[in-house]
Amino acid sequence: MPDAPKPAAGPAPAFSTRNAADPSFWDERFAQHYTPWDAGGVPEEFRQFIAGRAPCPTLVPGCGNGWEAAWLFEQGWPVTAIDFSAQAVASARRELGPAGAVVQQADFFVFTPQPQCQLVYERAFLCALPPAMRAAYGARVAELLPPGGLLAGYFYLGENRGGPPFAMPEAELDALLGAAFERIEDRSSAAPLPVFQGQERWQVWRRRAV
Question: Looking at residue 70, which CATH number applies to its domain?
Answer: 3.40.50.150
Domain count, the chain: 1
Whether residue 48 lies inside any domain: the answer is yes
Whether residue 35 lies inside any domain: the answer is no
Q: What is the per-residue pLDDT across 55-100, written as a single tens digit (0 to 9) for each?
A: 999 999 999 999 999 999 999 999 999 999 999 999 999 999 999 9
Whether residue 166 lies inside any domain: the answer is yes
Cβ contacts of 182 within 8 Å, gap of 6 or more: 205, 206, 208
Least confident of 40-49, 180-189, 193-202: 193-202
* Residue-range definition of the domain harbouring residue 145: 43-207
Whether residue 85 lies inside any domain: the answer is yes
Give pLDDT, residue 2: 44
Give pLDDT, residue 1: 52
Q: Span 113-133, mean pLDDT?
A: 97
Whether residue 64 lies inside any domain: the answer is yes
Q: What is the per-residue pLDDT across 135-187, written as a single tens digit (0 to 9) for each?
A: 999 999 999 999 999 999 999 999 988 889 999 999 999 999 999 999 999 99
State pTM to two decimals. 0.93
In angstroms, the Cα distances linking 111 to 40, 76, 86 are: 26, 23, 15
